[in-house]
Amino acid sequence: MSVSTTRPEAGQAGYDLNTNAETWRLFWHPVATLHELREAKPGGRGPLRTTLLGEQIGIAEIGGQVIAFEDRCPHRGVALTLGWAEDDGLRCRYHGWCFDAAGTCTEIPSMPADQTKPARAALTKYDCEVRYDLVWVRLDGSADTVLPEFEGWSDEAMHCILGEPYTWPCSSGRRMENFMDVTHFPFTHQGTLGAPPNTVFPVFPMDLHDRRLRWKTETFLAHNPGTDTYGPPADENSRMLPPAEYVIEMPFTITLKFQWSDTFSTQIFMHATPIDEVTSRSYWFTCHTVDDSADEVHLQLQDMVLGEDLPVVSSHQPARIGDAAEELSIMPDKAMILWRRWIRELDAAAAKGVDEVWKVLEKVELESTREQVAAGTGPR
């Protein structure tokens, strides 16, 4: 594995929990929706400028292929995204050098025909895939990590709606923790997802396996806003939020599934892309069992919940998860405690090498199975 020699010492770097950008460069992150790429420039092929882990990158469709590249022309270092996409090339706006989908410089207009192009005249490219109508980029492919799985997308019984991505002044870690945290429901989402006095939530067994942290919750007392789809508003004694399953695919993807009835289920898929140490951009879908409900119903519920979260999550000090010892954790914060531990382990492993990263990703701790076995109800 190629590890940057400039990598800071463990615990000294600037991302969540003092982790290193080099670690998160090993993973896939969405950097734009396919729609945003199509809308970026006339012709629908980009280029579109975006930022990932503090790095300015460009995406464009060249020769029918969506590619990602360092947003810097090798000639004089200007932004390539100021240029334009042609049928088979990306053209720099300054002196018109042109690059194909492989990154090779195919044309230097000012150079006489009898001269040879410099060998280093090429784009710096990154791994790039279009999946789930999102453009995903991996800045460092050396660990051969895989794209997050989105079950709802491949389930024909589900209808998936792509929400408007949102950029928040908080780290990816802060956004992830806000998503996996249920004890804020009765306060931040009072009247929407919860209300006092229903403030104590059971702490369920949590499993680590297959690169994922998973746990299931039972129906719990909560309010909801009252819609045809989700049922009438609850009073404080109603059981409104149905059984749910949380699945976190390391490091920054989360799927939350709700089973509202035998025939109706919903699913939220979200990835919190690290723009830089203290800024995240969340790409998300809300999915539900195919029915005749309007997309607006589902988007409005999410918008209301996100609007309640935004002022709180924007106020974190610091905006990233810094030294965890400066905060207090209690048992109901268990999901976040486990996620933080795994994040630190991944960062420490990445400093040692690619095999170590996979050892940490593939570790298995089956707490639910252990509890079932202890109770005599689980597999033996």
Chain residues that interact with ligand FES, rule: CB under 6 A: 73, 75-76, 78, 92, 94-97
- In whole angstroms, how close is the CB of 351 to Fe ion at the nearest point? 33
Instruction: Return the range that interacts with Fe ion (CB under 5 A); candidates 202-210, 220-228, 278-286, 307-315.
Output: 307-315
- Indicate which of Fe ion, ligand FES, none lies near residue 336 (CB less than 5 to 8 Å, by partner kind): none
Write out the two tokens for 129. Answer: 């895939």
Angstrom distance (rounded) from CA 134 to CA 281: 13
Instruction: Select the binding partner of residue 309 from Fe ion, ligand FES, none (C-beta < 5 to 8 A, by kind).
Output: Fe ion
Cβ–Cβ contacts within 10 Å for residue 317, how many? 6
Residues 6 or more apart whose CB falls under 8 angstroms from that of 112 comprise none
* Closer residue to ligand FES (CB): 102 or 373: 102
Contact 179, 256 (CB under 8 A): yes
Q: In the set 140, 309, 333, 347, which binds Fe ion (CB under 5 A)?
A: 309
Sequence-distant (6+) residues with CB within 8 A of 379 are: 369, 372, 373
Q: Which is nearer to ligand FES, 54 or 96 (CB)?
A: 96
Q: Considering only the stretches 233-241, 302-310, 319-327, 340-348, report the one whose residues sit in contact with Fe ion under the rule CB under 5 A.
A: 302-310
Nearest approach in angstroms of CB 110 to ligand FES is 9
Quote the CA–CA distance of 184 and 165 in Å, as a whole number. Answer: 23
Q: Which is nearer to ligand FES, 98 or 234 (CB)?
A: 98
Tell me how far, at minimum, the Cβ of 188 lies from Fe ion, in Å: 5
What is the number of other CB atoms lying within 10 angstroms of the CB of residue 76? 10
**Longest CA pairwise span in the chain (Å):** 83
Give Cα separations from 313 to 188, 243, 334 (angstroms).
Answer: 10, 25, 19
Q: Is residue 61 close enough to count as binding Fe ion by CB under 5 A?
A: no
Integer angstrom CA distances of residue 345 from 5, 358, 363: 20, 11, 11
Give yes or no for a contact between 283 and 270, defined as CB atoms under 8 angstroms apart.
Answer: yes
Nearer residue to ligand FES within complex by CB, 108 or 158: 108
Report the residue number, 97 or 126, with the smaller CB distance to ligand FES: 97
CB 93 to ligand FES: min, Å: 7
- 286 touches 293 (CB < 8 A): no
Q: Alpha-carbon torsion 72, 77, 78, 84, what sign? A: negative
Select from 123-131, 241-249, 263-271, 301-309 the region that touches Fe ion (CB under 5 A): 301-309
Closest separation in Å from C-beta 347 to Fe ion:
26
Query: Please, what is the minimum distance in Å from the beta carbon of residue 40 to ligand FES?
Result: 19
Distance CA(28)–CA(253), nearest Å, equals 10
- Given the complex with ligand FES, which of 3 and 111 has the nearer CB atom? 111
Closer CB to Fe ion, residue 309 or residue 347? 309
Q: What does 97 interact with, of ligand FES, Fe ion, none (CB < 5 to 8 A by kind)? A: ligand FES
Residue numbers of the site for Fe ion (CB under 5 A)?
Answer: 309
